[in-house]
Amino acid sequence: MAGLHKVVFRWPRTDASDVIVTGTFDGWSRSTHLTKTPSGFEASVSVPWSKKTTYKFIVDGRWATADSQPSEYDAIGNLNNIYLAPPPPE
């Protein structure tokens, strides 16, 4: 996994029962369920170094973005969160 970088995605609220993160890292397949913590939900995901990852949360069955995380609109007008991975270490 030398070509991948681990990032922790966080949903910052505790009032949900089930939170999934999905995006370009998993082909939007809804594969990663987040674990509940005292401050919200979180999960580690591997993403490519030096690339932009587009993602969104599914909170109790509803698509959502986290306001506290960077976001942008895609080509068809959907608002998504984005993560810009750093370059790989030398």
Asked whether 59 and 41 are in contact (CB, 8 A), the reply is no
The class (CATH top level) of 4-84 is: mainly beta
Domain range list for the chain = 4-84
What are the DSSP calls for 44-70, one per residue? EEEEETT-EEEEEEEETTEEE--TTS-
Whole-model pTM over 0.85: yes
Q: What is the structure's pLDDT at 90?
A: 81
Phi-psi region of 66 (alpha: psi -120 to 50; beta: other; left: phi over 0): beta
Q: What is the pLDDT along the chain (90 residues), one digit of tens a residue?
A: 468 999 999 999 999 999 999 999 999 999 999 999 999 999 999 999 999 999 999 999 999 999 999 999 999 999 999 999 999 988
Q: What is the structure's pLDDT at 2?
A: 63
